[in-house]
């Protein structure tokens, strides 16, 4: 039997061979393996230079300055550093934070923790396509609001938010900092740190053909945002993230970002065509509901709910043929209906019976046709076993 | 979610899926699609005077998770040749162990049992 077609690129991507080659040059004795903080000798100096070159490359890929890049272990750590770091610094001015119900758990769980510590958090409800209206953000701002945390590209449905509009709202409300989780953005849509106006931005490498275990927090120099460190022991990364910088990881992230940003225009057009073919094929099976507006989502993500089937069975039925997920890879193990789709107004059954198709560099038209066929077979079988037609509830 | 080989086999093959029609069919259902689990059994029975009714064949329909479908299929497959009884071929707890069903899904097996009992009670 053939391997399942991989259509879960929004969960993670394979490391690009060119990225792996760059990383390999920083691991063994014949490479740049030194500690970048060991400035007293040549090995350390060489590693330092690689790290700084990587920092410059990441900055160039996202429209930032090199000294605005703080390397972390990934977007989750960057989100935690942004939320706890910014609120710790700002708490004399207020203890109110605004986020949205459709954020990743890496933002929502820190916000829940802030609530346990006595902070107040407002959770904005997006519209039916997952968009947060800037007016709703403006209406939620209070005199004691110190931080807004809203994502750029939603990880489950691919909706792209107008971050610049959020930044303009925060700018009018002096003193409110804007954090943006952009873990899904790089290579999937255009992203420019300075142009978007955010104070803090979280990035991940492994969504963009880089390695797992590395990401970054962009800290705006222009805005003068200040954050408190959460990790101590060496003072690396300008004191904001202590710990030896993993040279091979940041080199991998830099190589990956450089490649995906350069390839994005052509790849975006290709993936958009594949995604629309996938949607038309799935829609033809009946009882399919597209989650997210087609014109406002990244080309790499398609999220569809299917009527008349149970979600866990649908996922199990297609798993031998295609690797997809029911939502965020970080929460799909729970078996609960997607909280993102529920926030969009889907009922529990539709929220549960949804599949997220994450298209990527390896995705071909044959893969898309195979996915359409696999889902069609699964739907027909499960609807027959369940004694329901496509629209039965 | 990881499934045992037995669960995968019965989920993928789903033997005895479908319905039975005609006179003398015992049908019973339990659960609710809107709540995520619904099961129905149809039993064709035969019996001579003074002898207990015997199940000739059984069919099932199930809307639910792979464990629900697998267990309902197994129960329907095992039923033929047995007297009509409110008891499942195996108690729910034994089924849970056989199919390696997580304890938090016990309620779904109880829906299978309720559907079976509803069908058997029609005799």
- Counting residues of chain A whose pLDDT is more than 90, the rounded percentage is 90
pLDDT surpassing 50 at residue A330 = no
pLDDT value at position A332? 45
Q: Are A148 and A137 a contacting pair, CB within 8 Å? A: yes
Q: b/e per residue, A236-261, with b = 16+ CB within 10 A?
A: bbeebbebebbbbbbbbbbbbbbbbb
Q: Are A199 and A182 a contacting pair, CB within 8 Å? A: no
Same domain? For A115 and A230 the reply is yes
Q: Are A122 and A108 a contacting pair, CB within 8 Å? A: no
Given A197, A228, A258, the domain boundary residue is: A258
pLDDT tens-digit readout, A8-57:
999 999 999 999 999 999 999 999 999 999 989 999 999 999 999 999 99
Which among B72, B66, B76 is positioned nearest to B105, based on CA atoms?
Answer: B66
Strands A354-358 and A301-306: antiparallel
| Cα–Cα distance list, A50 to A80, A175, A309 (Å) | 26, 36, 52
Q: What is the mean pLDDT of residues A303-329?
A: 90
Q: Are A369 and A321 a contacting pair, CB within 8 Å? A: no
Which among A6, A101, A40 is positioned nearest to A368, based on CA atoms?
Answer: A6
Which tokens sit at A238?
Answer: 């300008």
Distance between B5 CA and the closest CA of chain A, angstroms: 13
Same domain? For A180 and A72 the reply is yes
Which tokens sit at A101?
Answer: 């119900």
Q: In this complex, do B33 and A349 lie within 8 Å of one another by their Cβ atoms?
A: yes
Q: Residue A172, class by beta-carbon neighbours within 10 Å (0-12 exposed, 13-18 middle, 19+ buried)?
A: exposed
DSSP A334: G
Which pLDDT band, with edges at 50, 70 and 90, does A393 fall under?
very low
Q: Which of A98-112, A116-130, A269-283, A335-349 has the lowest mean pLDDT?
A: A335-349
Distance between CA atoms of A206 and A249, rounded to whole angstroms?
10
Strand ranges (DSSP E) for chain A? Answer: 5-6, 69-72, 96-100, 120-124, 145-149, 177-181, 200-204, 215-219, 288-291, 301-306, 322-323, 354-358
pLDDT surpassing 80 at residue A366 = yes
Provide the residue count of chain B: 123
Residue A249 lies in a domain: yes
Q: What is the mean pLDDT of residues A378-383?
A: 98
Which pLDDT band, with edges at 50, 70 and 90, does A391 fall under?
very low
Give every CB contact of residue A76 below 8 A, 6+ residues apart in sequence. A106, A215
pLDDT value at position A131? 95
Sign of CA dihedral A260, A261, A265, A269: positive
- Residue A229 has, within 13 A of its CA and on its CB side, a CA count of 16
Q: Please check whether residue A239 touches B, CB under 8 A.
A: no
Q: In this complex, do A393 and B33 lie within 8 Å of one another by their Cβ atoms?
A: yes
The chain A residue lying nearest B73, using CA atoms, is A385
Give every CB contact of residue B12 below 8 A, 6+ residues apart in sequence. none
Residues of B in contact with A352 (CB under 8 A): 36
Q: Please check whether residue A389 touches B, CB under 8 A.
A: no
pLDDT value at position A335? 59
Same domain? For A272 and A377 the reply is yes
pLDDT value at position A348? 86
Phi-psi region of A17 (alpha: psi -120 to 50; beta: other; left: phi over 0): alpha
pLDDT value at position A143? 95
Of B33, B34, B61, the CB nearest to A385: B61
Same domain? For A32 and A93 the reply is yes
pLDDT tens-digit readout, A124-167:
999 999 999 999 999 999 999 999 999 999 999 999 999 999 99
Same domain? For A243 and A332 the reply is no
Of A313, A317, A348, the CB nearest to B64: A313
C-alpha B121, offset from chain centre: 14
pLDDT value at position B49? 67
Q: In this complex, do A335 and B64 lie within 8 Å of one another by their Cβ atoms?
A: no
Q: Which of A185-199, A217-231, A328-342 has the lowest mean pLDDT?
A: A328-342
Residue A393 lies in a domain: no
Q: Which of residues 332-351 of A touch B (CB under 8 A)?
A: 333, 335, 348-349
Distance between CA atoms of A263 and A231, rounded to whole angstroms?
36
Residue-range definition of the domain harbouring residue A169: 17-258
Residues of A in contact with B1 (CB under 8 A): 312, 315-316, 333, 335
What's the mean per-residue pLDDT of chain A? 94
CATH code of the domain occupying B5-120: 3.90.1010.10
The chain B residue lying nearest A385, using CA atoms, is B61
User: What's the CATH number where A79 sits?
Assistant: 3.40.640.10
Q: Residue A113, class by beta-carbon neighbours within 10 Å (0-12 exposed, 13-18 middle, 19+ buried)?
A: middle
Structural domain count of chain A = 2
**Chain B interface with A: residues with Cβ < 8 Å:** 1, 3, 11, 14, 17-19, 33-34, 36-38, 40, 61-66, 69
Residues of B in contact with A313 (CB under 8 A): 11, 64-66, 69
Residue A391 lies in a domain: no
pLDDT tens-digit readout, A222-259:
999 999 999 999 999 999 999 999 999 999 999 999 99
pLDDT value at position B37? 95
* Positions of chain B with pLDDT lower than 70, given as ranges: 48-49, 123
Same domain? For A106 and A234 the reply is yes
CB-defined contacts A:B, below 8 A: 51
Residue A34 lies in a domain: yes
Q: Please check whether residue A319 touches B, CB under 8 A.
A: no
Domains in chain B: boundaries: 5-120
Same domain? For A103 and A175 the reply is yes
Same domain? For A249 and A186 the reply is yes
Same domain? For A208 and A289 the reply is no
| B40, β-bridge pairs | B29, B61
Q: Please check whether residue A352 touches B, CB under 8 A.
A: yes
User: Quick check: ipTM above 0.90?
Assistant: yes
Same domain? For A102 and A210 the reply is yes
Residue A352 lies in a domain: yes
Which among B91, B123, B117 is positioned nearest to B28, based on CA atoms?
Answer: B117
pLDDT value at position A349? 86
Given A225, A258, A291, the domain boundary residue is: A258
Q: What is the mean pLDDT of residues A86-112?
A: 96
Q: In this complex, do B14 and A312 lie within 8 Å of one another by their Cβ atoms?
A: no
Which among B30, B122, B42 is positioned nearest to B68, based on CA atoms?
Answer: B30
Which pLDDT band, with edges at 50, 70 and 90, does A327 fall under?
low
Distance between A324 CA and the closest CA of chain B, angstroms: 13
Of A335, A348, A385, the CB nearest to B62: A385
Given A238, A258, A278, the domain boundary residue is: A258
Residues of A in contact with B36 (CB under 8 A): 310, 348-349, 352
Q: In this complex, do B66 and A312 lie within 8 Å of one another by their Cβ atoms?
A: yes
Q: What is the mean pLDDT of residues A297-315?
A: 96
Q: In this complex, do A313 and B33 lie within 8 Å of one another by their Cβ atoms?
A: no
| Cα–Cα distance list, A114 to A80, A117, A140, A166, A175 (Å) | 11, 5, 18, 22, 19
Which tokens sit at A364?
Answer: 């071909």
Positions of A marked catalytic: 330
Which among B54, B37, B18 is positioned nearest to B101, based on CA atoms?
Answer: B37
Neighbours of A286 (CB within 10 A): 16
Q: In this complex, do A388 and B40 lie within 8 Å of one another by their Cβ atoms?
A: no
Which tokens sit at A51?
Answer: 């790290």
pLDDT value at position B123? 66
pLDDT surpassing 60 at residue A334 = no
Same domain? For A69 and A146 the reply is yes
């Amino acid at each position: 039997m053939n391997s399942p077609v991989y259509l879960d690129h929004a969960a993670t991507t394979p490391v690009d061979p060119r990225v792996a080659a760059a990383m390999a040059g920083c691991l063994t004795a014949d490479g740049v393996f030194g500690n970048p903080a060991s400035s007293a000798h040549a090995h350390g100096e060489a590693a330092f230079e690689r790290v700084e070159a990587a920092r410059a490359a990441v900055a160039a890929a996202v429209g930032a300055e090199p000294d605005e890049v703080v390397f972390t272990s990934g977007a989750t750590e960057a989100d935690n550093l942004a939320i706890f770091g910014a609120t710790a610094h700002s708490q004399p001015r207020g203890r109110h934070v605004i986020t949205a119900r459709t954020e990743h758990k890496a933002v929502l769980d820190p916000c829940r923790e802030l609530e346990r510590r006595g902070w107040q958090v407002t959770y904005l409800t997006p519209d039916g396509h997952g968009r947060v209206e800037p007016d709703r953000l403006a209406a939620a701002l209070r005199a004691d609001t110190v931080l807004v945390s809203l994502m750029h590209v939603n990880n489950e449905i691919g909706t792209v938010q107008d971050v610049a509009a959020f930044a303009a709202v925060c700018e009018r409300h002096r003193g409110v900092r804007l954090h943006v989780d952009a873990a899904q953005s790089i290579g999937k849509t255009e992203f420019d740190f300075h142009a978007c106006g955010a104070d803090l931005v979280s990035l991940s490498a492994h969504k963009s053909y880089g390695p797992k275990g590395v990401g970054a927090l962009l800290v705006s120099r222009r805005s003068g945002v200040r954050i408190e460190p959460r990790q101590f022991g060496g003072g690396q990364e300008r004191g904001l993230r202590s710990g030896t910088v993993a040279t091979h990881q940041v080199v991998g992230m830099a190589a990956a970002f450089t490649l995906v940003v350069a390839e994005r225009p052509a790849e975006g057009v290709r993936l958009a065509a594949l995604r629309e073919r996938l949607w038309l094929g799935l829609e033809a099976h009946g009882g399919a509901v597209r989650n997210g507006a087609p014109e406002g989502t990244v080309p790499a993500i398609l999220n569809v709910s299917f009527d008349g089937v149970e979600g866990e069975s649908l996922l199990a039925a297609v798993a031998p043929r295609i690797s997809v997920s029911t939502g965020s890879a970080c929460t799909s193990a729970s078996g609960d209906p997607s909280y993102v789709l529920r926030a969009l107004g889907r009922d529990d059954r539709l929220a549960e019976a949804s599949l997220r198709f994450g298209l990527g560099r390896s995705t071909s038209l044959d893969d898309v046709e195979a996915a359409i066929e696999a889902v069609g077979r699964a739907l027909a079988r499960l609807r027959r076993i369940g004694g329901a037609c496509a629209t039965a509830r | 979610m990881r499934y045992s080989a037995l669960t995968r086999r019965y989920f993928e093959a789903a033997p005895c899926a479908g319905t039975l029609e005609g006179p003398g069919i015992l049908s019973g259902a339990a659960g609710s699609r809107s709540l995520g689990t619904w099961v129905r059994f149809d039993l064709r029975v035969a019996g001579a005077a003074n002898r207990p009714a015997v199940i000739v064949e059984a069919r099932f329909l199930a809307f639910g998770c792979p464990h629900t479908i697998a267990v309902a299929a197994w129960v329907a497959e095992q039923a033929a040749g047995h007297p009509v009884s409110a008891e499942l071929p195996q108690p729910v707890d034994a089924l849970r162990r056989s199919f390696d069903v997580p304890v938090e899904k016990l309620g779904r097996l109880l829906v299978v049992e309720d559907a079976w009992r509803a069908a058997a009670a029609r005799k």
